[in-house]
Amino acid sequence: MQKFLQESEYVNFSHPEVKALAQKLSVGLSDDAQIAKECFLYVRDKIHHSGDYKDQITTLKASEVLEHKTGWCYAKSILLAALLRANNIPTGFCYQRLSCSEYEDDIYCLHGLNAVHLKNFGWYKIDARGNKEGVNAQFDPPNEQLAFIAQENEYDLPEIYDKPLEVIIEALKNNKTYDEMVANFPV
């Protein structure tokens, strides 16, 4: 489990603002599921999904996502991992291969989400992408309610990774605007 608690260049939970938020979200709570839910709700509801808002900035590090209050699903999952790991809750990264036709016809891309290890439930997948019409991700262990259910030619990747995939990091590093990201989604 130790690798799912580590800090990294991107999951930078010792950054003063990230650390302060992690502490604020856990005040008065001792149960890991309660803390995880507060962190999840914050990222889902308080951080814009860059694609929904057409934000012209691409964030990567947890501290950048928090500073700019926006991120693609991948960046939001990095912030969520940082908040949870700062609270000593093992957190990993998961992906789905989904149709990205809302942005461009006939393309598929990866969608980023998290898995959190809760004492009473084990590994539990959560998706802080952000809700909108047709998207209703919730936190209700042991029931998983992700933003998207895989349809034809879509699938969930079964692995739980301790760090974001390199293809995700490269996409967030190299595509700085909304249009660049839409043209170069990770696959």
Taking the C-alpha atoms of residue 36 and residue 52, their distance in angstroms, rounded to an integer, is 24
CB atoms within 10 A of CB 21: 22
Which SS3 state, helix, strand or coil, does residue 111 take? strand
The pLDDT of residue 139 is above 90: yes
Taking the C-alpha atoms of residue 181 and residue 183, their distance in angstroms, rounded to an integer, is 5
CB 78 within 8 A of CB 164: yes
pTM for this prediction: 0.97
Please give the average per-residue pLDDT across 45-66, as a whole number: 97
Residue 158 binned pLDDT confidence (cut-offs 50, 70, 90): very high
DSSP string, 157-173: ----BSS--HHHHHHHH
Please give the average per-residue pLDDT across 67-94, as a whole number: 98
Residue 25 binned pLDDT confidence (cut-offs 50, 70, 90): very high
CATH 3.90.1150.10 fits 2-182, yes or no: no
Phi, psi of 52, rounded to the nearest 5 degrees:
-70, -35
Taking the C-alpha atoms of residue 93 and residue 113, their distance in angstroms, rounded to an integer, is 6
Please give the average per-residue pLDDT across 147-160, as a whole number: 95
pLDDT for 171: 98
- Domain range list for the chain: 2-182
Residue 82 binned pLDDT confidence (cut-offs 50, 70, 90): very high
pLDDT for 105: 83
